[in-house]
Amino acid sequence: MKQSLLYTTALMVLGVAAGYSQTKTGTTVGQFLLIEPSARISAMGNAGVTATGEVQATYYNPASLGYLSGSGIQVTHSAWIADITYDYVGGVLALGDLGNLFGSVTSLNSGDIEVRTIDQPLGTGERYTVSDVAFGLGYGRRISDRFTLGLQMTYLQETIWHSSMSAVAINIGTLYQISQDGLRIGASISNWGTRATFDGRDLRVLYDQNPDLHGQNPGLPAQLHLDDFPLPILFRVGLGYPITIDEDNKLMLALDALHPSDNTESVNVGVEWLFFNTFALRGGYQNYRFTPHTDSEVGLTLGAGVQYGMDDFRLFVDYGWADQGRLQKSQRLTLGILF
């Protein structure tokens, strides 16, 4: 009996250890979809599922569209890691009581990279690029004075040299305000879509079916067939709580819990201090995980912003900085207008 109990306990420990030793990182395609565009929300630890008041909040939760009372556009440029450039443009067209339409374009580009082979490790003289692009179209509407619903469809394409893959994804979100100017609860699911596989002329090769057999054709044209992979589905749920200190000082506290399909669960937290309804200071921490495997280099985030409003329009300038651990840092700059 004791020996059986000992064996059972050992198997349970080994099973738990095996679970901790495995990771789902690298099992999905379209990873550029996980790069958050908003400099404002990224400075708040990317806790954005309950964020409102800007166009790019739609990325975190399409239901935020229902809180915009006018049209607008926002543009983000990011000095991403490894000299990669990231750009995002989002625009909203207000339709009055019918809701709001949303459109976006996302672009990621590696720049020129040297082609290196085993025989020529210093380079062949050729160069290639890796580029990603996504086009989004969404719709959001206020269902009641406290509940909003949003939907977005995205077509994306990834290209590596002469080969590419494409897929279609859907984002769905809801946002509920418990009390007027009080606690908000939000939830969204992003990148739920089709599987994708690469195809292109880079996968066309010359193949020798039996290299040990002489007298046959050693250079038969062939094509490599790659497996297909899913998109990185991400489920967000979170709380947002605005606090009015006085007429000139307001705080926004935000907390998101994330459940990704290709990684472990994590939590994002952020805070924004807006004073004189013009200047904002922000800070946060993203991807705090409760399991030994983090597979993430992000952590502390900081930023600031300025907004200027008149009767007919509002201008935004926001900056976000994020610690990327061994990858150093990333920076975002967002410009926007609402009218």
Q: What is the pLDDT of residues 230-282, one digit of tens each?
A: 999 999 999 999 999 998 999 999 999 999 998 889 999 999 999 998 999 99
The larger pLDDT score, comparing residue 336 to residue 24, is at 336
Q: What is the pLDDT of residues 192-216, one digit of tens each?
A: 999 999 999 888 888 887 777 776 6
Residue 224's pLDDT is 87
Domains and CATH numbers, the chain: 36-114+128-196+234-338 (2.40.160.60)
Examine the pLDDT at 89 and tell me if it is beyond 90. yes
Give the model's confidence band at 312: pLDDT under 50 very low, under 70 low, under 90 confident, else very high: confident
Residue 222's pLDDT is 86
Does the reported pTM lie above 0.85?
yes
- Residue 287 to residue 278: CA distance in whole angstroms: 29
Residue 28's pLDDT is 92
Q: What is the pLDDT of residues 101-135, one digit of tens each?
A: 999 999 999 988 888 888 888 888 889 899 999 99
Examine the pLDDT at 23 and tell me if it is beyond 70. no
Average pLDDT, the chain: 88
